[in-house]
Amino acid sequence: MRIRRRPVKVWQVIVIAGVVVAVFLVMALMQSNYNVPYNDDPFSQAALEKIQSLAGTDDDLYAYDMTYNDSEDETFVVSLSGPANNGRRQNWNLICFAKDGQMPYRMEKKDTPVSIPEGAVPLSGLFDQMRLFRSNQQEVFGLFEKEKKVQEGESAVQLDLRDRFGETDLLTRRVSPAALTEASSQESAEETPKPKEEDQAEQGIEETRIALTEEIKGISTVTVSKDGVEQTAYQPGDCGENSFLLYRSSLQEKQWEETLLAVVNLETKE
């Protein structure tokens, strides 16, 4: 029995092609809705308003984690908490990775918890601080040119500024397996992992923490204001709720070592 195949008509080919193009356009449009305008300043008012629009709020959006790296291509991650349905929260990652030509500055949805994370701060206030830091970042990072150099046995070194939202002490040193850090970075766009204390020993993570009232030798207090950047020796009391921490992270064979270099205070008030 012979089966006679009908020839495909031109209009059918056009319809199929049109459907495929439409699907790609819709997908691209949906993806672009999560883009944040990135001109000269990722902490501009325009960027803030776009982020608030994506999150669906301008007064209930909080930052609870942040890492800003010292790199040639501007890179940072800010974890956000905004409103969701049924009284829950929607968590986001605000990611700036200037090396990514397609979506250099974007928001990505994360989990949906019930409450605002402890220590979270209004995003608008964090943006005010980060605008001040960004305008002085070269001078701040320049204070630690010696520390940024790769030492014997190291294959990579970076400096990064981090928040201490909700922290009650100072993390002065952390050693963790490189495989663990790299896996977490791929999942959360280079966000520094913060495992629970009970899981740290099992994962091979060692931490040294010091109370804010104790003296710490070998670290600085860096104060950034409209008048410029000032560096002094750290004294107990220099680190407050709104302080940031500057770390040196180095890769040595199969482990990452993070060392506290400075407490950074960003004074945005006149």
pLDDT exceeds cutoff 90 at 24: no
Q: What are the tens digits of pLDDT across the range 165-199?
A: 999 999 999 999 977 555 444 444 444 445 555 56
| Region of poorest pLDDT, from 31-35, 78-82, 102-106, 188-192 | 188-192
The residues pairing with 246 across neighbouring beta strands, listed in sequence order, are: 161, 262
In the predicted model, what is the mean pLDDT of the chain?
85
The pLDDT value given to residue 142: 96
The pLDDT value given to residue 174: 95
| Region of poorest pLDDT, from 24-28, 133-137, 179-183 | 24-28
Residue type, 165: F
Q: What are the tens digits of pLDDT across the range 201-213?
A: 657 799 999 999 9
CA 57, 63, 64, 67 dihedral sign is positive
Record the tokens describing residue 142, joined without a space.
């320049």
The pLDDT value given to residue 197: 56
17 — pLDDT class (breaks 50, 70, 90): low
